[in-house]
Structure 1
Amino acid sequence: MSLSRRSFLVSASATSLVTATGLAAPSYSRAAQRPVFTHGVQSGDVNTSSGMIWTRVDRPSRINMEISTVESFKNSIKLPPMNALPDTDFAAKRLIENLPSDQDIFYRFSAADLSDINTVSEPIVGRFRTAPASRRNIRFAWSGDTAGQGWGIDEVGMKTYATMARHEPDFFLHSGDTIYADGAMQDEVDLKDGSKWINKVLIDEKRKVAETLDEFRGQWKYNLMDEHVRALNAVCPTFFQWDDHEVLNNWSDSKDLTDDDRYTEKSVHVLAANAARAFHELTPISYTPAEPGRVYRKIAYGPLVDVFFLDMRSYRAANSENMQDAPSDATAFMGQQQIAWLKRELANSKATWKIIAADMPIGLVVRDGDTRFEAIANADDGAAKGREFEIADLLRYIKNAGITNTVWLTADVHYTAAHYYNPARAQFQDFEPFWEFVSGPLHAGTFGPNALDGTFGPEVKFVAAPTEEQGANLPPSMGLQFFGLVDIDGATEQLTVRLMNRDDEELWNITLDPVRSA
């Protein structure tokens, strides 16, 4: 690659704004003579021939864009300009298409003030590499949970992002809880040892729960104030999915906020609409013209891997005791339309490995109060019931359709683990064995471990979580922040998973051989 990672890290650092508060302000200032790029650049949803690029400015501007296959931008291609306006919070993103496969793509933005188009910003640059059309080694990272439980940007910053960047992944899969819109922060937090956690960077939008569109936007802009996040974004595409905290804790369409005094806006539908708009404005997630707000999708990353992003939020029924004896509207989790899409896309996939990116785990027990359940498992250990019907149906389909080499990646529970699902140990047995790997948090409180439900026969092969003595909600400074690395060998097609911590220590690994189709 002609552009070093160090060059891009320096470039990303150069885009830092003068003050923290100014970064997240939805208004703009004329104090700077020229437009300013406020939150760096991002790319995402890259495949063999296209990718999304994103940036944001501090005022109404015409965004000039160009792309090149070389760092010098010699013989670059200029794209039609876009306007960054208040209705998108001055953010602009574009799908760039007809790109060569397995190629470094450099992109450059400049901004002209709409009130004076001769007043032009300094340029800002980023890069990504398109997916290969033939077999080569592939590496990607995954994790979840950013800026949660009151742990914000301290003097060290979101270190896990810097650690991931050192591994030079082809892409980073963010498994959800990308923001904590319901997690108000304070300037200081008292720690058990008598010291203090200091949120060195804090903005008004993070001092309360998000309700308005601008407050949800501020949640996203806060994360982008971290230098490590911006540096990774400049050199590595992020593939985003969401979970509950993008709206509020344990969110579903039927969430009741009547007794939650933190919220003056009591309609979860209004909150979800504001959250979804901010999510799509401020990330480089791709869009489907027929369903522009859809989160579930497939990214084909060459012949070795397809990634299937699930949405376990938008279509679920209310949390319940999760013990229904038959499938119904009350047991919906992903919903019939999404399940039908997933089955169809898995059956059509020609990739060696099918990565199912789930924002919640299958067998871990995640509760919502004393009697309701937030995830799939119901702690019953028996035959499939409630939300487990969807998983049973899907696993049976995968087996009967002869779909091989599925691997589930997830986050949500704020610790890291490896689970092997074995029908010989299960109550529901009509499926082929598979692995589920859990990671996170990236920069949030550490919890766990959770109990496992035996319906689908999971076995813990590895876990790293707080000890009983350490307790729960450990700050990032304790070091129990986790991410995973997946390497796929272009020659052997073997897939290796490594579970890592933020200090870049390898905690556990396994190499999986692909099953060859007949």
Structure 2
Amino acid sequence: MTSPHRRRPFISASTGSRDNCDAIGTHTLRRSPVPASPSTLDRRRFLAVTGGGVLTFTAALAGFSAAPVRANPLFRDNPFTLGVASGDPLPDGVVLWTRLAPEPLAADGSGGMGGRAVPVEWQIARDPQFRQVERAGAVRATPELAHSVHAEVGGLEPGRDYWYRFRAGRELSPVGHTRTAPAADARPDQVRFAYASCQNYADGYFTAHRHLAEEDVDLVVHLGDYIYEGPNVGTIGRAHLPAVECRSLTDYRIRYSQYKSDPDLQAAHAAAPWIVVLDDHEIDNNWADDVDGGGVGGAEFQARRIAALKAYYENMPLRRASMPVGPDMQLYRRLRYGTLADFNVVDTRQYRDDQACGDGRQIDCADRLDPARTMLGDAQEAWLLDGLADSPATWKVMANQIFMMQADHEAGPVQAFGMDTWDGYAAARSRLLDGVRERGVDNFVVVTGDAHRSVAADLKANFDDPGSATVGTEFLATSLSAGGDGADQDALGAVWLAENPHMKFHNVQRGYATCTLTPDTWRTDYRVVPYVRRPDAPVTTRASLHVEAGVPGIAQVAS
């Protein structure tokens, strides 16, 4: 039987008249932080609001599924418990995502869907009431991909708002909002985006996501650590499921279901399109290419990597181009926002050499200076530098997982560096920054996550020489919840500011950052919450930092 959803009058797309059929999100407003409640609707009425559009059908992304098809499925519970999302916006389209999971925490990782494929219909409209449906279609949600849906929608107008929804059987999803990128040759007055990382479910509530959902941004960039793989129980009643470290596909699927069941995270996904890239905790802490965080490779880690990447794809709004093939997944890519910004999304995990000197924080580690060591791999490094050099955009953005700035961790003349960051790959960093300088790349800005603290810094040609040329700017944003409540400052922050003069701002509270780009200026606002160990924290702007176009480095700090 179908779920007992509240009934509303349905507004016909063709006449605007009301009848007795159920509405879909007729009350949903743009930027609503709470996804609209789903309601039931028969197939005839769903197709009626396509406005005469052609219904298309695509086979399962993994190929033609061997699973039998449930043509008219009935669900005992709402199958859209994991919400909806959109991603990788282009001028003419976006990816629409959902995953059917009426029992999201089912012990077998299936979400309660069993072994049959299910047709899922989608619509994207110019209005939240779906009176003007622009495109409609259907995909087959298959057990091979955990009944996830990745609908690549094209034929849309650049730089405009759209609303979307899904239907499986008689069940309707919440309504999501998305926005296409500007045309490649457009000259927008402004692009505004938010970025975040490090959302540990057991460490804290995702209240910052609720606030992020209320920001009027063109897109959200998530820089990794979407899940944490460990068996953390915590002390706030949000223990990880399953209660073991994730190693199998079933483990990872359950963990993603737990995270994506969070209403605040769902709200942030439903509010704007996301660009996502993974870091380490989606697989194993500090993994590097073909070895785990302990430096051990072999068949066991390869199987774990295959499972983790598959689960990541199943739960993210990614295009088919990013579908993993065995242990490999294409994640570095470039998205253009007119002539104002290029987003160069890099992957700092799949191609890097193992951490030098046994990982951790090290003093006098000569291997970190080895020019043969790589963070990005030769092909990605060349792709990045060529793209930066050829970019017509005012702002060249590098969406990066681990901080690039030098961070001396020791007071006094002795220097100590973390080996998992770009400090552990110092020669590769110098090669990249030298390449930026040699190619005359201006307005180079790096946005970063991972470190559970916020830092704004100038990127120097030689970090040990304060008078060295400034090549660009880095804005490191804090964790969303990992690490617990946080504080305004801590002991490490005092050392960093004293020992690293290129750092201009530091904070250890939780939250995210928003960036407002114009042809003349870049402004980063650090948005922080005072606590995460209990819900409903308020959000404030801890500091605003500015960069002037054509002038590398931070021009102003307002805190």
- The aligned counterpart of 1:237 is 273
Is the alpha carbon distance of 1:291 and 1:306 closer, same or farther for their aligned partners in structure 2, counting shifts above 3 Å? farther
Q: SS of the residue aligned with 2:172?
A: coil
The AA in structure 1 aligned to 2:457 is H
Alignment of 1:151 with 2:208, yes or no, is: no
The within-5 A match list for 1:407-486 is 407-423=445-461, 426=464, 432-445=470-483, 449=492, 459-465=502-508, 480-486=509-515
1:303 aligns with 2:346: no
SS at match of 1:169: coil
1:471 is matched with: none
Q: Quote the residue 1:473 is aligned against.
A: none
| Aligned counterpart, 2:430 | 392
Count residues with an aligned counterpart: 447
Q: Output one character per residue of 1:57-102: Cα deviation in whole Å (capped at 9) or x when no partner.
A: 1334210112221223234245331111211111111211221011
- Per-residue CA shift, 1:395-439, capped at 9, x if unaligned? 111111111101011111101111123447545998643211111
- Matched residue, 2:549: 514
- TM-score normalised by the chain length of structure 1: 0.78
Give the aligned partner of residue 90 of structure 1: 147
Partner residue, 1:102? 159
Gaps of 5+ in 1: 16-27, 113-119, 190-196, 379-386, 466-479
Measured at CA, do residues 257 and 237 of structure 1 come closer, stay the same or move farther in structure 2, by a change above 3 Å? closer
- Retained in 1: the 8 A contact 2:35–2:176? no
Query: In the alignment, what sits opposite 1:279?
Result: 312
- Asked whether the 8 Å contact 1:398–1:431 carries over to 2, the reply is no
Q: Which TM-score applies when normalising by structure 2?
A: 0.73
Mapped partners of 2:199, 2:176: distance in 1: 22
Letter in 2 for 1:204: L
Matched, 1:136 2:189: yes
- Residue by residue over 1:135-179, the C-alpha shift from the partner in whole angstroms, topping out at 9 and shown as x without a partner, is 13221111210116x415xxxx41010121222221111111111
Report the AA paired with residue 283 of structure 1. Answer: M
Distance in 2, Cα, partners of 1:123 & 1:441: 29
CA distance in 1, matches of 2:526, 2:77: 45
The aligned residue for residue 226 of structure 2 is 178
Question: What is aligned with 1:228?
Answer: 264
Cα shift at 1:285: 2.3
The answer to whether the Cα contact below 8 Å between 1:213 and 1:274 also exists between their aligned partners in 2 is yes
Distance 1:291 1:223, change over 3 A: closer
What is the distance in 1 between the residues matched to 2:274 and 2:406? 26
Q: Distance in 1 between matches of 2:379 and 2:209?
A: 35
Superposition pairs of residues 335-354 of structure 1, within 5 angstroms = 335-354=377-396
Q: Are 1:375 and 2:441 matched, yes or no?
A: no
Give the counterpart letter for 1:441 in structure 2.
S
Q: Note the 1:301-340 alignment, pairs <5 A.
A: 301-321=337-357, 323-324=366-367, 326-328=370-372, 331-340=373-382
1:254 Cα deviation after fit: 4.7
Report the AA paired with residue 287 of structure 2: W
Change (3 A) 1:98 1:428: farther
Q: Name the aligned partner's letter for residue 34 of structure 2.
A: L
SS at match of 1:276: helix
Q: Deviations over 1:179-237 (max 9, x none)?
A: 101x2132x52xxxxxxx222xx5632x1111111211222222111111111111111
C-alpha displacement at 1:390, in angstroms? 1.5
Aligned residue number for residue 162 of structure 1:
210
Q: Secondary structure at the match of 1:177?
A: coil
The structure 2 residue matched to 1:504, chosen from 519, 535, 539, is 539
Give the secondary structure class of the aligned counterpart of 1:100: coil
**Given residue 198 of structure 1, which amino acid in structure 2 is its aligned partner?**
G
**3-state secondary structure, aligned to 1:360:** coil
Cα pair distance change 1:96/1:327, threshold 3 Å: same
**1:204 maps to which of 233, 241, 258:** 241
The whole-number CA distance in structure 1 between the counterparts of 2:467 and 2:312 is: 38
- Among 473, 494, 503, the residue aligned to 2:521: 494
- Rounded to whole Å, the distance in 2 between the matches of 1:43 and 1:332 is 33
Report what 2:105 is aligned to: none
**8 Å Cα contact 2:38-2:172 kept in structure 1:** no
Local SS of the residue matching 1:37:
coil
The answer (yes or no) to whether the contact 1:319–1:372 under 8 Å persists in 2 is no
Q: What amino acid is aligned across from residue 55 of structure 1 in structure 2?
A: T
> Contact 1:363/1:453 (CA < 8 Å) preserved in 2?
no
Hey, what does 1:41 align to over in structure 2? 84
Name the structure 2 match of 1:68: 125
Matched to 2:231, the amino acid is A
Task: State the shift of 1:38 in Å.
Answer: 2.1
- Asked whether the equivalents of residues 83 and 173 of structure 2 are also in contact (C-alpha less than 8 Å), the reply is no
Looking at structure 2, the residues matched to 39 and 463 of structure 1 have their Cα atoms a distance apart, in angstroms, of 35
SS at match of 2:335: strand
Give me the identity figure in percent: 23
